[in-house]
Structure 1
Amino acid sequence: MRLLAGMTQLASDRPDAVTVADATISAERLWGCARAVADEVAGAPVVAVHATATVETVVGMVGALLAGAAVVPVPPDSGPAERRHLLTDSGAALLLTTGPGAGTTPAGADTGTADGGPALPRVPVDLTRVSSTDRPAPAPTDTALVMYTSGTTGAPKGVLLSHRAVEAGIDALVDAWAWSPDDILVHGLPLFHVHGLVLGVFGALRTGCRLRHTGRPLPERYAAAGGTLYFGVPTVWSRICAQPGTARALADARLLVSGSAALPVPVFDRLHALTGHRPVERYGMTETLITVSSRADGPRRAGYVGFPLDGVSTRVVDEAGRDVPTDGESVGELRVRGPMLFDGYLNRPEATAAQLDADGWFRTGDIASVDPAGWHRIVGRASTDLIKSGGYRIGAGEVEDALLAHPGVREAAVVGRPHADLGEQVTAYVVADGVGEAELVDFVAGHLSVHKRPRQVRFVDALPRNAMGKVQKKLLADD
């Protein structure tokens, strides 16, 4: 099948094709085991996979794709209500179980019991079984993945990603990052998000490079992995920078890539100082895969996610849908169009129409600016990060970067709070040492336009984050 072209072409010379934690499997064995899984699940249109960080998960997903099924990754730490929704809403015909105890019920995974979901057949992924059965490749327009959004505005929605979209998304990154079979990809990200699964597993299999998944994204495991290409989220890079010796061990890598959330400028600078690498930043969503990125053969700027990938078009528009100036200062909603976009939300035509227009433009809901050279900068979400204060439109990300430039600030999140005169006031939540509110307000005003300074600074012990390191600002707003 085309999505996994690299693996099939290089099956004979990749004895260490995939390593997850302490388990390694050759490409030839992976292919044989995946074919055995395909034999077991053949005829199932939708297959859920208990997406643990294991070799079995990789084999199970590849096998389900070989069988022509759409794969639904199920987070292993999901609660009963979330599992019930994913399995019921997706219409999964069976659940592939993985990891230790795969032959028994993973905690809460059999939704035919206490959590009231469908009583799905459970099929353990068995790495002792192989098959040589050949199957026709799925059509490019067939659904490869049903990936569920975070559900920040209601129940999670199933995002339909075709084989063609996944292939286009990976191939655009192969071009941008000079990604080749000679690379050794290292990461420790979850196998149920775009970053860890589509880029971090299918990207490796499609290019034919080796994958070394560290099980968990611990700095010492990254340092010991000996990779050429590293993927991480900002939290991972921040923790690596906190261990200078560990960070310096990455100096021999070819490329460091950061995504899933904005990389703070101080972390970018620290990583550069310790490793000699300016990390590549990129932008994407579950619905769009990666659409904007810096390039391996080009410059990289802290705080910017680069340029549209090959085949991608972008627009930044105001509330009336008019293009804003590409002056690096004007902000608006980013819209993207390209071959890697999703086919819609499962069984939700109204939600699809609200996000994807007839001309193929996807409304990201993210606030961005573009400078005259075409550099894209993401300043936050429209719902939480576009602050309208005193007639000004202020991007929270710009204020956060200014706060993080202060040596006493370790973390910062900025939101707009209701204000009787201004409409909204810029309010900062800060994790800091030895600094007061007035000093930070003056510091920001000295770096940015005065109207962008925080009107209020709240000091907190930590910022609420999700599994991918993104700050959960709605929890701050409800504080």
Structure 2
Amino acid sequence: MIVSPEARRRAYREAGWWGDKTLADLFFANAAAHPERVALVDAPNRGDFAFGDARRMTYAELAAEVERLAGALLEAGIGKDDVVVIQLPNISEFVALYFACATIGAIVSPVAIQYRSHELSTMFGIVEPRAFVCGTQAKGMDHVGVARPLLGDAMLMTVGPDAPPDAIDLSAAQAVPGRLEAHRAANLVDADDVFTICWTSGTTGVPKGVPRSHNHWVGIAPGTYVTARLEDGDVLLNPFPLINMASIGGVTMSWLRIAGTMVLHHPFDPQVYLAQIATERPSFTIAPPAVLTMLLQNEALLAQVDLSSLRTIGSGSAPLAPAMVAGFQERLGIPVINIFGSNEGMSLITGPDDVPDPVERASFFPRLLNLPPYYRDEPQVIMESRLVPPEGGDPITAEGIPGELQIRGPAVFDGYWRAPEQTAAALTEDGYFRTGDLFQIEQAGRFLRFVGRCKDLIIRGGVNISPEEIDQLLGGHPSLAEACVFALPDPVMGERIGVAAVPRPGTDVTLDEVTDYLRSHDLAVFKLPERLFVMGSLPRNVTNKVMRSEVRAMALATIEEEA
């Protein structure tokens, strides 16, 4: 049965997943209830990677800054539904700008600080921004110089010292008294209005803008704050850039829900990160799997840090190694939450209350995740899902058969920004999002297990092989810091399996050691790698995902040099 988007929206409101409040409404309610509570803390090394001194802001101080910036945006000519592209690191101004735009009904399109003219020109062409905001100073980068030739009719706005003469200096701008109140009265912002346009990771093809409303963000929030066991006023350490699902949906929305303290971190620096855990005493943080594995393997570093404040840690962006998840729980008493999602919408999440066993939690996701919605207390299923054969057909109900995960629910977007063809390819007629991720049903139907991306399948002699499955196993290899499996062309078998390996410091690794380790885990022989490429590091995109296509290209270049 095909259900219209309007009918789904009504159902989400009736169930309590969605409501009538914007994110600005939620923030100002927290500020009114807890004006003296610390709301936001800059990284201590802020001056090294950006500018200025690190700030600690109470809710009252942050609310005043949000209103000042909202008035400044209005004075500059930014209004409701105007798109503002923001390219900033994790600094307090970025958070304030989010809620300033939410206050006036403008749309935030956040972009990674690493993006240059190649990416920005494409994104500007898609969203046609009214303004571009960046910092006047950023370590090793000239954001103003890169963006200026691309702006067209868009205004240049900056934060930081020494604003260029052709820019609107948001650090110094002041609001006109009464203007913000008048704008609010004349331009009501609806919770179903688009609030952000984030971007797909862009590992292949043209980047796609992912619009999400205030309610889309509210709908996704319980996935983290419930699963992470968060409580009123908790401290949250946020090391992921404020541009994507992990940072906005996973941390910022939880921060809103519990009126907590958000501690910012950027760029990722293990020493600074661990020092912040020791000094700020967060109850929750997120970290990439590779970082958690590195920490667990570094006995000297582990002995120097105090992680006792952490109630849980969230991790995702790549399959979790069971050895890492078990190690954190058994050695340190900290459950690691397995998070699988995208900017289009949360897919799956596994916490310690749903899956107590850490080894199971590293690999499995509950097929039915019951959580209390943002505006209700009674738990209900947050997401509908089904597995469909990649080539099409009826949904899969048997165990052990890979199928594409399709999802629908209050956390899932409605379609790409101004891209009807891409939207039609991504969404089914009955509103399910085609994730492009392969899962299979496990353990008498209780769980789903990730087995790979549809486009990443290795086809060896007509047999489909998931590279992520092998990556996950190699995550526990004692001599490897990280590994990535990929397809190599073969005239007989069609494709064979290559593996790029980054040895731990002071160790060497051979192909035989890799295959022996995989055999010890009873991996099928046809899945064993047949060529090893030792690398110093693996290329990653701005969301810290290993770029398998680039790893493969590096390996093929090595083979060509040897020929």
Structure 1-normalised TM-score? 0.90
- 2:490 matched residue in structure 1: 419
Mapped partners of 2:227, 2:362: distance in 1: 18
Contact between 2:336 and 2:351, CA under 8 Å: does it hold in 1?
no
Match of 2:535 in 1: 460
Aligned to 2:343: 286
Distance 1:213-1:296 versus aligned 2 partners, 3 A rule: farther
Within 5 Å, give how 1:435-474 maps onto structure 2.
435-446=509-520, 447-474=522-549
Question: Which residue of the other structure, out of 338, 349, 367, is the alignment partner of 2:420?
Answer: 349
State whether residues 85 and 132 of structure 2, in contact with CA within 8 Å, keep that contact through their aligned partners in structure 1. yes
Residue 315 (structure 1) aligned to one of 386, 402, 405: 386
Instruction: Please show how residues 63-102 of structure 1 align to structure 2 within 5 Å.
Output: 63-98=100-135
| C-alpha displacement of 1:248 | 5.4
Counterpart Cα distance in 1 of 2:145 and 2:127: 15
Q: How far did 1:296 drift?
A: 4.5
Matches within 5 A, 1:137-176: 138-176=189-227
Paired position in structure 2 for 1:237: 292
Q: How much has 1:99 moved relative to structure 2?
A: 7.0
Shift of 1:157: 1.3
1:107 to 130, 138, 142: 142
Pairing 1:221–2:275 present: yes
Q: Is the 8 A contact 2:313 2:334 kept in 1?
A: yes
Query: Residues 251 and 390 of structure 1: is their aligned pair in 2 closer, same or farther, counting only changes over 3 Å?
Result: farther
| Shift in alpha-carbon separation, 1:381–1:109, aligned structure 2, 3 A | farther
Check whether the contact 1:247–1:275 (CA below 8 A) recurs between aligned residues: no
CA contact (8 A) 1:403 1:412 kept: yes
AA aligned opposite 1:171:
P
Q: Structure 1: where are the runs of 5+ without partners?
A: none
Looking at structure 2, the residues matched to 24 and 321 of structure 1 have their Cα atoms a distance apart, in angstroms, of 55
How far off is 1:63 after superposition? 0.1
Kept in 1, the 8 Å contact 2:223–2:349? The answer is: no
Within 1, Cα distance between the matches of 2:332 and 2:238?
17
Higher helix share: 2
Q: Kindly indicate whether structure 1 or structure 2 has the higher relative contact order, using CA contacts under 8 Å at least 6 residues apart.
A: 2
Aligned to 2:319: 262
1:51 aligns with 2:97: no
Amino acid aligned to 2:277: A
1:120 corresponds to 2:120: no
Could you tell me how far apart the structure 2 residues matched to 1:5 and 1:114 are?
37
1:336 match: 407
Alpha-carbon contact 1:10-1:208 (below 8 Å) kept: yes
Contact kept in structure 1, 2:311 and 2:335, CA below 8 Å: no
Superposition deviation, residue 127 in structure 1: 7.7
1:362 corresponds in structure 2 to: 433
What does residue 297 of structure 1 align with?
353
Q: Separation in 2 of the partners of 1:127 and 1:199?
A: 32
Amino acid corresponding to residue 19 of structure 1 in structure 2: V
Aligned mates of 2:228, 2:39 — CA distance in 1: 20
For 2:62 and 2:24, the matched residues in 1 are separated by 12
Q: Distance in 2 between matches of 1:434 and 1:78?
A: 35
Q: Could you say which residue in structure 1 is the equivalent of 2:455? A: 383
Secondary structure of residue in 1 paired with 2:550: helix
Contact 2:320 2:363 in 1 (8 A): no
Q: Matched residue of 1:138: which SS?
A: coil
Q: 1:476 aligns with which of 551, 556, 559?
A: 551
Paired amino acid for 1:295 = G
Cα pair distance change 1:174/1:5, threshold 3 Å: farther
In the other structure, the counterpart of 2:477 is 406
Structure 2: how far apart are the matches of 1:67 and 1:19?
24
Residue 346 of structure 1 and its aligned partner are, at CA, apart by: 1.3
User: What secondary structure does 1:159 align onto?
Assistant: strand
RMSD: 2.7
Q: How does 1:20-31 map to 2 (within 5 A)?
A: 20-21=42-43, 22-31=54-63
Give 1:3's match in structure 2, choosing from 15, 23, 44.
23
Distance 1:52 1:400, change over 3 A: closer
Give, in whole Å, the separation in 2 of the partners of 1:291 and 1:337.
9
Structure 1 residues 351-360 or 387-396, which shifts more? 387-396
Aligned to 2:235: 184
CA distance in 1, matches of 2:226, 2:408: 18
1:291 aligned partner, one-letter code: S
Residue 380 of structure 1 deviates from its aligned partner by 2.5
C-alpha distance in 2 between matches for 1:111 and 1:455: 44
Q: 1:179 to 1:326 in 2, by over 3 A?
A: farther
- Tell me, in whole angstroms, the C-alpha distance in 1 between the residues paired with 2:476 and 2:321: 9
CA 1:127–1:228: 2 relative to 1, 3 Å = farther
Q: Deviations over 1:378-425 (max 9, x none)?
A: 2322212x2222332222122123333332232211112222332322
Name the count of aligned residue pairs: 472
Contact kept? 1:379, 1:397, Cα under 8 Å: yes
Q: CA deviation at 1:373?
A: 4.5
CA–CA separation in structure 2 for the residues paired with 1:218 and 1:156: 28
- Distance of aligned partners of 1:407 and 1:199 in 2 relative to their CA distance in 1, 3 Å threshold: closer
CA deviation digits over 1:251-273, x for unaligned, max 9?
A: 33111111222223333233334
- How far did 1:100 drift? 5.3
Assess if the C-alpha contact under 8 Å between 2:148 and 2:156 holds in 1: no
| Cα 1:199/1:303, change in 2 over 3 Å | closer
Report the Cα offset of residue 193 of structure 1: 2.0
Q: Distance in 1 between matches of 2:97 and 2:518?
A: 50
Give the structure 1 partner of residue 67 of structure 2: 35
Question: Which AA in structure 1 matches 2:30?
Answer: L
Query: Which of the residues 373, 376, 396 maps onto 1:324?
Result: 396
- Distance in 1, matches of 2:462 and 2:111, equals 44
Matched, 1:200 2:251: yes
Which range moves more in the overlay, 251-260 or 232-241?
232-241
8 Å Cα contact 2:314-2:337 kept in structure 1: yes
Query: Residue 439 of structure 1 aligns to which amino acid in structure 2?
Result: E
* Structure 1 residue 244, shift from structure 2 partner: 4.2
Equivalent pair of 2:194/2:212 in contact (CA under 8 Å): yes
Letter in 1 for 2:37: P
Deviation at 1:183, TM superposition (A): 1.7
Q: Aligned to 2:363, what secondary structure does the other structure show?
A: coil
* % same residue: 25
Matched letter for residue 210 of structure 2: V
Q: Secondary structure at the match of 1:17?
A: strand
- Structure 1 residues 334-390: Cα deviation after superposition (integer angstroms, max 9, x where no partner): 111111111211111000000111111111111222312532322322212x22223
Q: What is the rounded CA distance, in whole Å, between the counterparts of 1:147 and 1:78 in structure 2?
A: 13
Cα distance change on mapping 1:326 and 1:140 into 2, 3 Å? farther
The structure having more radius of gyration, on CA atoms, is 2
1:15 matched to 2:69? The reply is no
More displaced 10-residue stretch of structure 1: 182-191 or 159-168? 182-191
